[in-house]
């Protein structure tokens, strides 16, 4: 497959097995992003790394307003639906030819869980301790794309911003003369790790969810705990440790003026290519025991044969089939891989794959809106589960359980669910861990599962002290 179609503006770069070295060259530019596939993970989703910086348009949604800034133009403030605003901007740009690469320019950034308030009418009960915009998206005109399968790398652009051609040679020069930093800045945490739900509070929230389930209000609710610790330094240092300790196919690093995001997510939200849609919800978890292969195998077998975990997964599969049904061609939605085992650094997961064909009148942005936030991290039915989350979790989730996504000028999209994710701003590092509660859940087991999911991040914090 060496005769792949490339965009008109494209320069091949030396292949680096660790593409983080390329990110070193661009990470001091504005709004740098690294979509890190952790290709050492044995996953079909670990083929491409994508890096970019310096968007020529930015969209920042805070509350009811979105601030849109075009390079060298006055900013515009709009109260319109942020998904519609994003699609309108993407619709202004049409590539002259389509490339086989996943991303050569387009929208890239984050959609916070709380952006769901622009879609659903939710009560306002939780404390907003994040103080972050609900949507932060850059419109980028170039990307460094590393293909670990072909072992090739390109600097690629659809050349839809006039300045890209002017800056191209300088960018190529920057990327072909990289040297690892000799004295990288460090990052450390200090003080006490604070959590917003102790075991007693978690038990009370768990009991309330059980009451709602038995009353017929819902079938499943995802309950999460928020952790926070003081921190300072260069978060890139922390991310490099995280990606080595907890490699995951939908990892990412995104530095914005508002916060820096360090994600080692194992979960895809939505992927679109040529109108074909895929979503891969995770439901069902067991810890790993890499020091004892026999016990590790026992834990994975236990997960695969657990009727409770399969039932929990099936509830979310049904929810996502309904979400996809809003925008996909009737009859096109399939579940080709239900309840597949996927194993990561600290946990085993049950992952189902759901596919569909996007209807002609819909696009990647309308698909994202129809499915946002992801059902695997809310519960079923989605709206009632989100109302219960708002009632029982003390703090807003912010970016946790939202999504980091790219949506290309060519209509392609891929996105994660921002679990196993740290947020750094105001000298504070925050992360969350949660799990789905169903009728036959037990509080002690669910509480332990939360800590199993947080294990990699907790280990990282120990190293950063």
Q: Residue 226's closest CA among 459, 423, 89?
A: 423
- CB-based burial label for 457 (10 Å; 0-12, 13-18, 19+): buried
Q: Which of 267, 278, 393, 449 is catalytic?
A: 267
Q: Is residue 184 part of a domain?
A: no
Within-domain flag for 182: no
**How far is the C-alpha of 238 from the C-alpha of 223, rounded, in Å?**
27
Nearest to 59 by CA among 81, 37, 28, 43: 81
Q: Is residue 56 part of a domain?
A: yes
Q: Among 105, 120, 141, which residue's Cα sits nearest to residue 410?
A: 105
Query: What is the residue-wise DSSP string for 380-439?
Result: ESHHHHHHHHHHH-SB--TTTTSEEEEEETTS-EEEE---SEEEEETTEEEEEEEEEE-T
Of 225, 271, 280, 283, catalytic: 283
Is 192 an active-site residue? no
| Nearest to 89, CA basis, from 138, 35, 136 | 138
CA distance 356 to 337: 13
Asked if residue 187 belongs to a domain, the reply is no
DSSP letter string, 118-153: GTS-----SB--S---SEEEEEES-EEEEETTTTEE
How far is Cα 383 from Cα 336, in angstroms, rounded to an integer?
27
Identify the three-state secondary structure at position 242. Answer: helix
Mean pLDDT of each 10-residue bin along the chain, 465 residues long: 81 95 95 90 77 98 97 92 98 93 97 96 92 97 96 96 94 90 87 96 97 96 97 96 94 98 96 96 92 94 94 93 96 96 92 96 97 95 96 97 98 97 98 95 94 94 95
Query: Is the CB of residue 391 less than 8 Å from the CB of residue 372?
Result: no
Residue 2 belongs to a domain: no
**What pLDDT is recorded for position 42?**
56
- CATH classification at residue 241: 3.60.120.10
Is 92 catalytic? The answer is no
Phi then psi for 195, rounded to 5 degrees?
Answer: -130, 140
pLDDT of residue 421: 98
> What pLDDT score was predicted for residue 41?
54
Q: Residue 172 domain-assigned? A: yes
Whole-angstrom Cα distance, residue 52 to residue 176? 15
Rounded Cα gap, residues 119 and 372, in angstroms: 8
Three-state SS for 460?
helix
pTM for the whole structure: 0.96
Domain that holds residue 286: 9-177+194-464
What pLDDT score does 345 carry? 87
Separation CA 115–CA 133 (nearest Å): 9
For residue 186, tell me if it sits in a domain: no
Total count of domains within the chain: 1
Spatial neighbors of 143 by CB under 8 A, at least 6 apart, are: 50, 51, 52, 101, 103, 104, 105, 155, 156, 157
Burial class (CB in 10 A: 0-12, 13-18, 19+), 99: buried
Q: In the beta sheet, which residues pair with residue 113?
A: none
Contact present, 334 and 325 (Cβ < 8 Å): no
Listing DSSP states for 293-344 in one string gives HHHHHHHHHHHHH-HHHHHHHHHHHHHHHHHHHTTBPTT--EEEEEEEEEE-
Q: Output phi, psi for 75, to 5 deg.
A: -70, 150
* Residue 386, domain member (yes or no): yes
């Amino acid at each position: 497959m060496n005769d792949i179609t490339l965009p008109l503006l494209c320069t091949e770069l030396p292949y680096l097995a660790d593409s983080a070295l390329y990110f070193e060259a661009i990470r001091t530019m504005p709004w740098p992003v690294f979509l890190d596939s952790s290709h050492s993970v044995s996953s079909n989703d670990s083929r491409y790394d994508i890096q970019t910086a310096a968007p020529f348009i930015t969209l920042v949604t805070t509350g009811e307003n979105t601030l849109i800034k075009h390079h060298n133009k006055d900013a515009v403030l709009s109260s319109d639906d942020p998904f519609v605003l994003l699609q309108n901007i993407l619709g202004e740009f049409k590539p002259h030819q389509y490339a086989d690469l996943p991303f050569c320019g387009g929208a890239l950034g984050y959609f916070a869980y709380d952006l769901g308030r622009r879609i659903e009418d939710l009560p306002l009960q939780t404390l907003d301790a994040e103080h972050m915009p609900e949507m932060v998206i850059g419109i980028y005109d170039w990307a460094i794309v590393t293909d670990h399968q072909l072992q090739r790398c390109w600097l690629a652009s659809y050349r839809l911003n006039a300045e890209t051609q002017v800056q191209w040679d300088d960018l190529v020069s920057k990327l072909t003369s990289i040297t690892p930093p000799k004295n990288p800045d460090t990052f450390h945490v200090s003080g006490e790790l604070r959590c917003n739900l102790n075991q007693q509070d978690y038990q009370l929230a768990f009991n309330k969810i059980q009451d709602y389930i038995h009353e017929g209000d819902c079938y499943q609710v995802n309950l999460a705990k928020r952790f926070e610790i003081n921190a300072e330094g260069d978060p890139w240092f922390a991310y490099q440790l995280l990606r080595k300790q907890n490699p995951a196919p939908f990892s990412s690093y995104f530095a914005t003026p508002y916060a820096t995001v360090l994600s080692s997510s194992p979960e895809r939200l939505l992927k679109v290519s040529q109108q074909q849609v895929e979503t891969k919800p995770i439901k069902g978890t067991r810890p790993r025991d890499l020091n004892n292969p026999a016990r590790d195998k026992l834990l994975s077998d236990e997960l695969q044969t657990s009727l409770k975990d399969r039932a929990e997964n099936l509830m979310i599969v049904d929810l996502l089939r309904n979400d996809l049904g809003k925008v996909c061609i009737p009859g096109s939605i399939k579940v080709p891989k239900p309840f597949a085992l996927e194993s990561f650094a600290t946990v085993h997961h049950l992952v189902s794959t759901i596919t569909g064909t996007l209807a002609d009148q819909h696009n990647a942005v309308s698909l994202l809106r129809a499915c946002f936030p992801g059902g695997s991290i809310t519960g079923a039915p989605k709206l009632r589960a989100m109302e219960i989350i708002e009632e029982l979790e003390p703090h807003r989730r912010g970016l946790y359980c939202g999504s980091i996504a790219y949506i290309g000028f060519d209509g392609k999209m891929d996105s994660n669910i921002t679990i196993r994710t740290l947020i750094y701003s105001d000298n504070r590092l925050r992360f969350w861990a949660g799990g789905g509660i169903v009728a036959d859940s037990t509080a002690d087991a669910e509480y332990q599962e939360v800590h199993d999911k947080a294990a990699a991040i907790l280990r990282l914090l120990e190293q950063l002290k």
